[in-house]
Each structure stands twice: as structure tokens, then as C-alpha cells.
Structure 1
Amino acid sequence: MQQPDIEDDFSGPLRADLWVDHYLPHWTTPERSAARYSFQTEGMQLRIDLEQLNWRDEDAPLRVSNLQTGTFAGDLGTRVGTHRHREDGLVVRSPTPTRLLWAPTAGRVELTVSASVDPQCMLAAWLVGTEHLDAAHSGEVCIFEIDGHAVGASTLARSGIKAHTDSAIETDMADVCLPFDASKPHTWSVDWGENRTVICCENIVVRDIPQAPNYPTFLMIDLFEIGQPSGAYPKTAMLHSFRGWTR
């Protein structure tokens, strides 16, 4: 395989030419969207801290630390922006410049992670339509979503395609069983383009879907805490490496 077009071993500091360390910052305010993280010998530790604010009060209790490879939003007060994933009043609260740091239309991603085992947490990675060219470009490749309560000697994850408001594709999500403990380092990959999406985990195909978004996407990697704060803090997951190819 040819060398990747872009890569990160998450050894720090944060690569400002690749990552925005806020979760969909246009729909909320900076103190709520900002990621919590630190760099360790094995990579970047995403964190949910005890004092961390809800992403939006309307979504509470929901806190998130996220990296994404760009931003796009319309004017203050509009519903224009990347990932209009809710229909209950998402409007631009923080005007955000368009930044296409890495926004492939088709390509390959390889991502090595260790998931959280906290029962209120979810580690996820998505390729989300930027919408900067057309509001219909909203589809999503869900590489994985791993709930902490589903991690054990074997792990249940979710993977597939979400249409959102893109009428040209259909939502096709499925549970996939991983025969290992996903809190240990493991590698996901996705090849997408030309009406096909193939998602693998540890080099085993877990989803082969005859459709794919055909417009620019941002990669988003995020750790969520869903529910009222409880248990020990910080709650953490690890990002070990990322490699990306654009086609």
C-alpha cells in the first residue's frame, strides 16, 4: 500500500494543521465544545472531567471531548453548518470559519484506539459530510461506536452508514461482535468511495455496504459521557495512531 497522505501518532503536541479540538463548535459555545485531553507515552488520552460542562444545556446530560479535521458554519442564528444531527433547534451560536484541514470525498482511514469501559461512555469515529458545498451533503460513515458497558472479553460495537438528511443514501447500521476486549489497542479501517463502504476491525471485514457518501467529509473522533455525572473521574479513552489516504 502506498504511504498515507496524512498521519498522526498522537505523541503531541496537537497538530493544528490537522485537528480542531472542539466538538461541532458552531452549535454551542467554546467553553462547552472544548476537548479535554493529555498526551501519554502510548498516545492521546481523551478525557471527560468531573467539572466539564454539558455540550449544550438542551442535550444535558451529555459531555464530549472530540477531535475533528475541519469546521464549517453559517451566520449566527442560522441552521447552516456541519452535522445538523438534531431537529430540535440547533442554530449557530459561535460563528466558526470554514477550515478544510482534511476533507476527503473518498479514501481510506486507519485508526488505532483503546475504548473506555465506563458504562456511561462511548468512543466513536465518524466521517461526516462537511455540508460546505450543499446542505444535502450530510451523510455519515460510522466507522465505530463502542459503548463502555459493551466492552468485555468480547465487545459489541455499532458500524455502518447514517443518511441524516441525505436522500441519496440510506441508513444502514448494524451491531458487530468483536472477539476481544476493545479497551486494549485495536485498529479499525474504512475504505469508501464509488458507491461502496468497507469497514474492517483488526483486518477482518465487519461491514461491506453498497453505498457511500460522494462529497467531502470530516473525520471526527470523540469520547462521550451520557448521563448524570457519576463514578470515578477522569473517564478516558486512548487514541494511538491515525493514517489517512485521499482518493
Structure 2
Amino acid sequence: MSLSLVGVGGPDGYLQDKRTAVRIYSRAGRVSSTGPVGRVGYAPGVVFDERFGRLDPAVWTASYLPAWSSRDAAAATFEAGPDGLDLSIPQAQQLWCPDLHDGPLRVSAVQSANWSGAIGSTDAPQPFRDGLVVMEEQPTVLGFLPHFGTISVTCSADLSPRSMFSAWMVGLEDEPDRCGEICVMEVFGDTVAGGRAAVGQGIHKFRDPALREDFSAVPLDIDIAQSHTYAVHWRPGAVEFSIDGVTTRVANQAPDYPMFLTLGVFDFPDRPGPAEHVPHLRVSRLTYRPLPEGA
């Protein structure tokens, strides 16, 4: 199966394949089409406001890039409820793609879209090395796919020196070049000390010829154990990054296609740090507001 984006350049862009028309948040904030996939987000209007009282399977896939292994093998450990989403990695959690990933890695992550081609094909988002093929064909779940607008993630984390957390937007790779990334934030535990942490933000080009690499991790006075709001204001030609309403950097470029969001916590067992520690990413709120009409 291949996906194609139809009309994304205009205000009523939508994503569809031969079988499924779906709703997508376009740059004008309107919903252009509906179909059997079900609702996209929690309302067919201009904003997306997720509090994670439950993890809606019509929006969220609770497995990390499952096409390259399987939904079961890549499944997250999580709780959802009145306090939001709590992603964690208990000691018993298995390695992610142990025969393929360079170095042992454990992950608990949720992503707001999922799809793949047939088993044996190369059609799926975010291949992490050359030569990957789909190991389990994925259902098409297109839960939340903004194209420009403001995305905010309010969260806290508990890390050891061998763990990290991140939130990022990435293209679906419905076309190979639509693969760029907007990293909302990324923090490695070995940079956390004394109320400071290096917060990574920026653009990863991957194989998108229209983008250039523009990413840095800047040490900041921030206690990641406390709740903070990390945001991107994404518009044609630029992405503005902020933390708690304070601009931290501006990239003078921007991916120009719909992107899905991943929230995740990661553990690297071969790095120094206590093996008994259980890392957590606790997300209390995710919001999206489209660009104003005509912006």
C-alpha cells in the first residue's frame, strides 16, 4: 500500500489512499474530508486538546515504529488517567529491535499516526538504518496530523544518566522526501545535574532535500522533574521553539507537509547508570492550534 497526499498545498489538504479518506488538520485549520478511519483527534474543529484521560486507539498507536518489528514487540508501558499519560520502562521490558538497532535500546512511546506497506516492503515511516523491510504490516491509523500551527507538550520526566525523553514531529513518508523532523524537545539524562539540563531542539533533515540540519542541545536552567511546556510555532518557512512561553531558538526553514507526533522515553542499557532505575515521561497535556486564516 502506498499513501499519497492530495491537495496539501492548499487550505483544504487531505490525506488518503485508495480505500480511506481521512480528516487532517490543514494550514487553515479546517477539516476537509471524513472517512472510515474514524475521527481525527477529539473534534472536527480548529484545535486539538489532549489530556490523556484514556489513550484513544483511533488517535494513538502505543508501539514505537512497529512496522520494523511488530506492535507487540514494540509495545509501550504506560498508564493513562486523570493525571495524564505516564510512559515508563520497567526493568523487565524487552529490547526494541535487538537484532537491528545499533546498540541495546528499550523504548516506551506513543505516536499519533501509523501505517506501512506489505511485509517485505520498505514502505513505513522513519527507517533507522539501511536495508530495513516491513516485518509486520500495519493498519492505517491517522490520528493527529497537523500541517503548520502551534503544538505544545506539557510534561515532566524522571531520568537516569542512561535514559532520555523526547517529543518530535515527523513526516509520514507517504512520499520518500516527506521525512523531515521537528524536534520539540530532547533531553538525555547524563546532561541533567543541579537544576540544569541540555535541551535539544531543532530540525533534522534526514532525506528531505528541501531541509538542512539545524539542531542543537543547549544547557538551560530547568528542572525536568517539574512540569514544563515545550512548544513549536510552525509556519511556512520558519519554526519557532519555546519553553514555558520563552523563545529558545528560531529555525528559518520548515517542513511543508503533514507530520505526526511521537512522545517517548528511552533507555540505553549499555551506558553508565543504575540498571534498577525506571525512567518516566509524564505528559499532562498536548495542544494544537492551527495558523490563523490567511497566515
TM-score, reference length from structure 1:
0.92
Q: Is the 8 A contact 1:151 1:183 kept in 2?
A: no
Q: Which moved more, 1:169-178 or 1:40-49?
A: 40-49
Q: Which moved more, 1:122-131 or 1:228-237?
A: 228-237
- 1:107, CA displacement in angstroms? 1.4
Q: Is the 8 A contact 1:176 1:206 kept in 2?
A: no
- Please provide the CA RMSD for this pair: 1.9
Q: Counterpart in 1 of 2:253?
A: 211
User: Does residue 238 of structure 1 match 2:282?
Assistant: yes
Q: Deviations over 1:52-103 (max 9, x none)?
A: 111101224101011111112112111111112322x321101012221111
Name the CA distance, whole Å, in 2 between partners of 1:117 and 1:34.
20
Q: Counterpart in 1 of 2:13?
A: none
Q: Is the 8 A contact 1:121 1:224 kept in 2?
A: yes
- 1:4, CA displacement in angstroms? 6.0
Alignment of 1:10-25 (within 5 A): 10=52, 12-25=53-66
User: Does residue 170 of structure 1 match 2:220?
Assistant: no
User: Does residue 45 of structure 1 match 2:89?
Assistant: no
Q: Counterpart in 2 of 1:135?
A: 176
Q: Is the 8 A contact 2:157 2:279 kept in 1?
A: no
Alignment match of 2:165 (pick from 114, 123, 127):
123
Alignment of 1:42-191 (within 5 A): 42-57=83-98, 58-59=100-101, 60-87=103-130, 89-132=131-174, 134-152=175-193, 153-191=195-233
Q: Deviations over 1:25-72 (max 9, x none)?
A: 111122221110123653221110111111101224101011111112
Q: Is the 8 A contact 2:67 2:137 kept in 1?
A: yes
Alignment match of 1:227 (pick from 250, 264, 269):
269
Name the CA distance, whole Å, in 2 between partners of 1:74 and 1:109.
29
Name the CA distance, whole Å, in 1 between partners of 2:255 and 2:139.
23
Q: Is the 8 A contact 2:183 2:204 kept in 1?
A: yes
* Overall identity of the aligned pairs, in %: 29
Q: Which moved more, 1:235-244 or 1:41-50?
A: 41-50
Q: How many residues align?
A: 243
Q: Is the 8 A contact 2:59 2:141 kept in 1?
A: no
Q: Secondary structure at the match of 1:61?
A: coil
Structure of higher RCO (CA pairs closer than 8 Å, 6+ residues apart): 1
Unaligned runs of 5+ in 1: none
Q: Is the 8 A contact 2:148 2:290 kept in 1?
A: yes
Q: Secondary structure at the match of 1:149?
A: helix
User: Does residue 202 of structure 1 match 2:253?
Assistant: no
Q: Is the 8 A contact 1:142 1:162 kept in 2?
A: yes
Name the CA distance, whole Å, in 2 between partners of 1:71 and 1:78.
15
Q: Which amino acid aligns with 1:29?
A: S
Q: Is the 8 A contact 1:71 1:97 kept in 2?
A: yes
Q: Secondary structure at the match of 1:96?
A: coil
Q: Which moved more, 1:121-130 or 1:13-22?
A: 13-22
Name the CA distance, whole Å, in 2 between partners of 1:38 and 1:9.
12
Q: Which amino acid aligns with 1:72?
A: W
Q: Secondary structure at the match of 1:32?
A: coil
- Computing the radius of gyration from Cα coordinates, the structure with the larger value is 2
Q: Which amino acid aligns with 1:227?
A: P
Q: Which amino acid aligns with 2:229?
A: T
